[in-house]
Amino acid sequence: MNYTRRTTRVGQLKEAGKKSTFEQNPPAAQLSPSSHPQSDQSKPTQPPAAQPLSPPASKDVQPLTVEPSIMQSPQSEPAHTAPDDRLASRVPGGAPLGIDATENAELTKIWLQVQEKVSQLAAREGKQVKNGLDGDDVIANLDASQEKKEESTTRKAVKTAFGRTMGLIKTVGGIVADGASTVFAPAGQCYNVISFLINAYDGYQGAFEGLADLLDSCSAHLGRLDYYVKAKMDARLSKVAAEQLSLFVDICDAALQLRYSAGHKFKTGIKIAFLQENDIQDLLGRMEKLATKERGLRVVEMMVQNDADQKERVETEGQERTLKDVLAFDKHSDRWNSTNSELMDLWQTEYNDIRKNVVPGTGKWLLSHTMFQSWVSDFTFSPILGLEGTSSTGKSYLTSSAIRYLQKDMATQSPDLRHVVAFFFLDRGESGQGFDVAAKSLIWQLSKKDVPYMKSASRISRTVKTLDPNEIIPKLLLENTELEHMDAVFYLVIDGIPLFI
């Protein structure tokens, strides 16, 4: 079982008595039916047999022995120092800064204007702006202002309208914050203004019905921004979002001023028609104009994205063709899919067939073994790990357990790295298939699973034009210095290598 890391980790599973210069065989990891009965299974039919590319010099295998000339572990991993492009810093007032100075200045200006408006409203209402106020606090305030009223369909509709607006404000506030996880000032400022409205109209049930209609009208525009967030609109939407929140504060201000207008006399149970007020209608019209602008941005963004997708697709297809030419797949082999001109993933079929018959608990002793854990997590440890066992002791089942662990568990344990796993099951039962087939398959798997690696391997392929079978893994993987700058660990898991050495 050959497991590789480049950081490439190599692991291998061999039969006892075979010799190799690139194995590590700790006694504690040796297999035997009696010592590990959970792994004593018969291996199903394997893919093609293999012949060695260039067998290394044989010598007696010693425990904890690794030939350093074959594969060296990097002495150190490059530090990941890339800044967070979404949020570099904040200006006074809480505005997040992105990477575009002009957009930062415009966004910050709108942001500070919103804060100033809310501060003026608070002073006029005799209130204080509460930092950390959230949507739940506003709804609690709404409930308190109506706690003496009987529950009704109208009250439920009012609460629903307020709640929907709170959620949209939170989302739009997040857009203004340029994708940051925290809801910054815009949302908090709007929550405060809505609380001012609730307090100002406390005792006027009809006012809350009118406010619900008003908030629904605002939500119709804010909701479009929510839709585009899900569609992954780019950062230019931040300015539109900030302007919409600024207009929302203006609309709330107009509704507050109506409360104290000498020309309006309110009765407790009469619905207040906020939407009929000219000032409010004008502000809603401005929100609609912004929505039109935002729709235009979306159309442009979709066109740009489509062009980018098309360009990337063409580039990827070109990279795949270049790599295929260098790997020189046998297009007459039963491993070649002539329909899509691509290598068939028989390695996955083999893996699936093995996993169907795995006994629960198989491989736990291996996965928890100190040497295995050092191999997967300690980059100063040897990049090669070998495991040997006598014939028919379930080595392929152990291999499948190791593959599953690398694919699923490592991503959780080290989420800051991409964990790319390629594997192959060698079998002497099929003729005409050498280790060169495994090498080509492993490189192809890595390229299909990791775009940066595909680009790197393609660049090398354009340079070398052609590779002998025994050069494929060294040139495209082990000696590929570009991999040192990728936030990735590449694992090669090969079952049955020593059968052909």
CA pair distance 282, 112, nearest whole angstrom: 23
Residues 261 and 378 in one domain: no
Q: What pLDDT digit, counting tens, does each position of 183-193 carry?
A: 345 677 788 88
3-state SS track over 79-108? CCCCCCCCCCEECCCCCEECCCHHHHHHHH
- C-alpha distances (whole Å) from 18 to each of 60, 263, 500 are 9, 99, 9
* Average pLDDT of span 371-394: 86
Residues 71 and 106 in one domain: no
Residues 297 and 151 in one domain: yes
Asked if residue 312 is part of any domain, the answer here is no
Asked if residue 360 is part of any domain, the answer here is yes
Q: Which of 492, 501, 369, 373 is nearest to 435 (CA)?
A: 501
CA pair distance 47, 434, nearest whole angstrom: 11
Q: What pLDDT digit, counting tens, does each position of 318-363 carry?
A: 777 777 777 766 666 666 665 666 667 788 888 999 999 998 888 9
Asked if residue 333 is part of any domain, the answer here is no
Of 256, 279, 306, the last residue of a domain is: 306
Residues 46 and 171 in one domain: no
What is residue 314's predicted lDDT score, i.e. its pLDDT?
61
Sequence-distant (6+) residues with CB within 8 A of 183 are 134, 170, 173, 174, 177
What is residue 404's predicted lDDT score, i.e. its pLDDT?
92
Residue 224 scores a pLDDT above 70: no
Average pLDDT, the chain: 69
Q: Are 248 and 211 in contact (CB under 8 A)?
A: no
Q: Which of 135, 127, 130, 204 is nearest to 168 (CA)?
A: 135
How many Cα neighbours within 13 Å face the side chain of 351? 18
CA pair distance 218, 248, nearest whole angstrom: 7
Percentage of the residues of the chain whose pLDDT score is greater than 90 = 7
Residues 104 and 75 in one domain: no
* Average pLDDT of span 72-79: 37
Residues 178 and 282 in one domain: yes
User: Three-class SS of residue 179?
Assistant: coil
Residues 211 and 354 in one domain: no
Residues 66 and 207 in one domain: no
What is residue 27's predicted lDDT score, i.e. its pLDDT?
37
Asked if residue 478 is part of any domain, the answer here is no
Percentage of the residues of the chain whose pLDDT score is greater than 70 = 57
Residue 90 scores a pLDDT above 50: no
Report which DSSP code applies to 444: H
Asked if residue 76 is part of any domain, the answer here is yes
Residues 155 and 219 in one domain: yes
- 488-495 and 8-15 strand pairing: parallel
CA pair distance 445, 449, nearest whole angstrom: 6
Q: Determine the structural domain holding residue 110 and report its residue range.
A: 95-306
Residues 66 and 112 in one domain: no
Q: What pLDDT digit, counting tens, does each position of 136-178 carry?
A: 888 888 887 765 555 667 777 888 888 888 777 777 766 655 5
What is residue 421's predicted lDDT score, i.e. its pLDDT?
94
Asked if residue 7 is part of any domain, the answer here is yes
Degrees to nearest 5, angle at CA 219 with 215 and 225: 155
Q: Are 241 and 284 in contact (CB under 8 A)?
A: no
* Average pLDDT of span 26-42: 38
Residues 76 and 100 in one domain: no
